[in-house]
Structure 1
Amino acid sequence: MTSAGRPGASWTVCWLRKELKPRMKTPLLATEQLRLASIEITQRCHNRCPYCDQPKSDWDMPVPRFVGLLDALAAEGVEAVALGGGEPTLHPALPALLTAVRYRGLRVGLTTNARTPGLVTALADAGLLESFGVSAGKGGVEGPGRPPPRHSESASPARWPG
């Protein structure tokens, strides 16, 4: 239940690199359950979006830490995870992370800057990724010959352009 009494509440889990446990936002009502966890799996990014304030580094969440987090979330009744960062497609073990999510019966999606559409569709075709969102943001991406995006878009893997 959401605070408005409707089903489908989703809450964010903030994973801090130096903590051993996820920090969970407490639901507003005792009947609410954490259903969706948003997990930062990397701080790598190959864009320099002027609107983005995400930290950038070569940090990637280690697979064992990710698996431990998934187990804790699944035990709490989480139904889905949303992977982000940075740019999640730059995580060197992304297929292994997605496999770990699917093995636990959880739904999984990610937010991408869409610079590697072939990878995203391949992961979806392999059954590792259910959904993704394209972050086009609030402004342009610096770089020659790149027009600024006008809005954020979401797409299902089956409708990926190109």
Structure 2
Amino acid sequence: MSTPWFRTVLVSTAGHCAVACGFCFRADRANGFLDVATYTRSLSRLREIGVESICLTGGEPTHHPELRQLVRLAHQFGLPVSVVTSARAEAEVTALAEVAHLVENVTVSADSRGAMKLGRTRRSVESGIRTLLEIDAPAGVLHVSYWDLADDECGELARLVAEAGTELQFSPVLLDELAIQRARMTVADYEERQRLDAAVLERHFALGDGLRDYLAHLRSMRRSPGCRHLCRSRALYVSAEGRLRRCPYSEVGVSTHRPRSEVREFLARPTTDRVTADCAAICRP
């Protein structure tokens, strides 16, 4: 049984997150940070199966007390590292700045004005740009979760990103039926909002085929929920407890503390996971 080729891995540095966005799609909820010994064992297993890079992600990586050690250990295993963060506070930005020169790129998460209001967050575009300007990363990306966009807001965003010289990525805010009800909307309202937001983005940015395909995929999943295809991701996930899964939302996995034969057997086994809106957001190109 041959093991599929997996290119990269999302590594959760903590099972909790203090940002607590109202529209958060994180799969894990637990206390505590990723243990360095567990992380080291995970890196060993990942290197053995041919993984080429890792991405340190949430909770919030800058809260990890040994973030620099996590980055250096990855380098010892020959794995380039990237970081996804919501760092805004002085201590968070300082921790990020201390490792920024050691990573391939840093992605700072931000929310549009409408998304901030909907999710009760403080991750503004302006503060995200400030974080990127205060660190010395080889490459910086501003990732904007958007909702209820306006033309003037997009114009200002384009200006800020051009001045900062950072890459820009977009993801729509995803709401399940319960969250739609809580927002006092119908499903039709929600779909219309997504359509209008996409039209605003098209007016101000040269959207890539990846985002267009992703939005079309979301529409097809809503209209035909029984036709979701099996997971085809080449990105793995390691939880803060050291559990290796095909996807953060998968219900099956294997501990990286298990023998290498069990890890390989798990990865060679045909997946039963089907794509959902949440994991499609993580695994899209």
Change (3 A) 1:79 1:158: closer
Q: Distance in 2 between matches of 1:68 and 1:31?
A: 19
Deviation at 1:72, TM superposition (A): 0.5
The DSSP-based 3-state class of the residue aligned with 2:110 is: coil
- The equivalent position to 1:131 in structure 2, one of 80, 85, 105, is 105
Gaps of 5+ in 1: 1-29
- Which string of whole-angstrom CA distances, capped at 9 and with x for unpartnered residues, describes residues 26-49 of structure 1? xxxx79511101111202322121
- The letter of the residue matching 1:120 is L
Residue 50 (1) aligns with residue 26 (2): no
Change (3 A) 1:66 1:147: closer
- The letter of the residue matching 1:119 is A
Change (3 A) 1:58 1:33: same
Partner of 2:120: 142
Per mean C-alpha deviation after superposition, the further-off stretch among 98-107 and 36-45 is: 36-45
Deviation at 1:121, TM superposition (A): 2.4
Instruction: Give the TM-score, by structure 1 length.
Output: 0.64
Superposed counterparts of 1:18-97, under 5 Å = 33-54=5-26, 55-97=28-70
- Which string of whole-angstrom CA distances, capped at 9 and with x for unpartnered residues, describes residues 108-132 of structure 1? 011100222332222123x2x2212
- Which string of whole-angstrom CA distances, capped at 9 and with x for unpartnered residues, describes residues 140-161 of structure 1? 1636xx47559x98x6825766
Q: Distance in 2 between matches of 1:135 and 1:87?
A: 11
Change (3 A) 1:44 1:33: same
Instruction: Calculate percent identity across the aligned residue pairs.
Output: 26
The DSSP-based 3-state class of the residue aligned with 2:47 is: helix
Q: Distance in 1 between matches of 2:25 and 2:5?
A: 29
Moved over 4 A (4+): 146-150, 158-161
Residue 117 (1) aligns with residue 93 (2): yes
Q: Distance in 2 between matches of 1:96 and 1:147?
A: 27
Instruction: Give the TM-score, by structure 2 length.
Output: 0.38
Computing the radius of gyration over CA atoms, which structure comes out larger, 1 or 2? 2
Gaps of 5+ in 2: 141-163, 165-285
CA contact (8 A) 1:45 1:90 kept: no
Count how many residue pairs are aligned between Structure 1 and Structure 2. Answer: 126
RMSD: 3.0
Change (3 A) 1:46 1:57: same
- The letter of the residue matching 1:142 is R
Q: Distance in 2 between matches of 1:31 and 1:56?
A: 29
Q: Distance in 2 between matches of 1:104 and 1:94?
A: 16
- Which string of whole-angstrom CA distances, capped at 9 and with x for unpartnered residues, describes residues 22-71 of structure 1? xxxxxxxx795111011112023221211114345432111001000000
Higher relative contact order (CA 8 A, sep 6+): 2
CA contact (8 A) 2:21 2:120 kept: yes
